Amino acid sequence: MENSEIPENELGQVKLDDGLLKFKTVLDYERALEIKENVQDFYSMASLLAESGVPGSEGYRVLEENGVLSDFQDSYLLELLDPNGMIMIDKYLIKLDFFSQTAYVTDNFEKRQAMIDEEYSDSDILTYSFEEELLEILFGSVVDYENNIKTFEERARILSCPGSYPPGSTFPPMIFNSNCDSRKCEWVSIYPEAGWEYKAEAMHAYQAAAIYFRLKTEIAHFKRNTTTSGGWSSEPDPNMNIVYWGNFTPKNRSTVTLSGCYDSCQGCTPPPANREKVQKIHHEAGRRLTSYNLYGIFDVHLGGNHAASGYPEVFQLINIQE
């Protein structure tokens, strides 16, 4: 398939084709992950999932049918995929299926509708797992050194922030019965009080989606009414923060060392106004890390703003490393 078959509707380094984003080169795609600019007039998978809070909506159905997708719901990747999970990079049409954790690839644009219809038996459609580094397979180790080195140096220079516990602290002790492996460490705590239950969910995670990889730390706080059949809903907790430390090494880059940091300091997201979730994305790119070693201490008040007394919880997850 020649690039000339794609309409020349330019949007910076991106072309739009019938609701599909196309990056002219793999470097353009990798720069987009670095810069994270808003793509104007594009209905993305992120746009679709923004409607997921309404039962019966298409976004709600997609999220329900793709349980794995909830792990990526706040990633920039979904801003670049169309509602079918598709994107074009150079001459390749790529579809990410979050349910099966599979990437489908073709250089024959005429197969687009077959991929939308989940008809993948054609020999023109190749199949890869989310664990494979697809950009490396399709394009080799092409890296934009000038644009990326500066970015990673800036990320390494996170300002020093005051914290309750310095990096390397042995208190509070680590939670050893949490759900941990070399890619993710999760912990859930539930505290009941006066007809309500409050829940904190914390994690370190290294996530893979074939053309996208990220290392992150987060803690979220929820509540539910025990006298009704209602589910969990987000609940503000002004006490939440994360102190994190460790290091990671991007492919063909120097090791980046992380500083201890409150969630509200420079480099931490979302901004402090969103107290239902405190999240730090340490790395987000199209190519995988060669190594990572991530620690963190989590501080949360189960009960948030609404419990009469609540329960303060401070804990340290086992670090994830590879």
pLDDT in tens, 270-319: 555 556 788 888 899 999 999 999 888 888 888 877 766 788 888 888 88
Asked whether 153 and 34 are in contact (CB, 8 A), the reply is: no
Instruction: Write out the DSSP string of 203-240.
Output: EEEEEE-SS-EEEEEEEEEEEEETTSS---EE---TT-
Asked whether 248 and 170 are in contact (CB, 8 A), the reply is: no
Asked whether 281 and 214 are in contact (CB, 8 A), the reply is: yes
CB-count exposure of residue 173 (10 Å: 0-12, 13-18, 19+): exposed
Using the predicted structure, report yes or no on whether residue 201 has a pLDDT greater than 50: yes
Please report how many Cα atoms fall inside a 13 Å half-sphere around the Cα of residue 305, on the Cβ side.
7
pLDDT in tens, 142-183: 655 444 443 444 344 344 455 567 666 777 888 877 788 889
d(CA 102, CA 125): 12
Give every CB contact of residue 37 below 8 A, 6+ residues apart in sequence.
12
> What pLDDT does 150 receive?
39
CB-count exposure of residue 174 (10 Å: 0-12, 13-18, 19+): middle
Using the predicted structure, report yes or no on whether residue 112 has a pLDDT greater than 50: yes
Instruction: Show the tokens assigned to 147.
Output: 């644009």
Query: What's the residue count for the chain?
Result: 322
CA 162 to chain centre: 26
d(CA 33, CA 39): 12
> What pLDDT does 263 receive?
45
Instruction: Show the tokens assigned to 171.
Output: 């208190």
Instruction: Show the tokens assigned to 245.
Output: 């430390």
Instruction: Show the tokens assigned to 42.
Output: 């594009």
> What pLDDT does 125 receive?
95
Beta-carbon count within 10 A of 228 CB: 8
pLDDT in tens, 3-18: 434 444 556 678 887 8
Look up the pTM and report it. 0.81
Q: First CA to last CA across the chain, in angstroms? A: 39
Instruction: Show the tokens assigned to 265.
Output: 């300091």
CB-count exposure of residue 151 (10 Å: 0-12, 13-18, 19+): middle
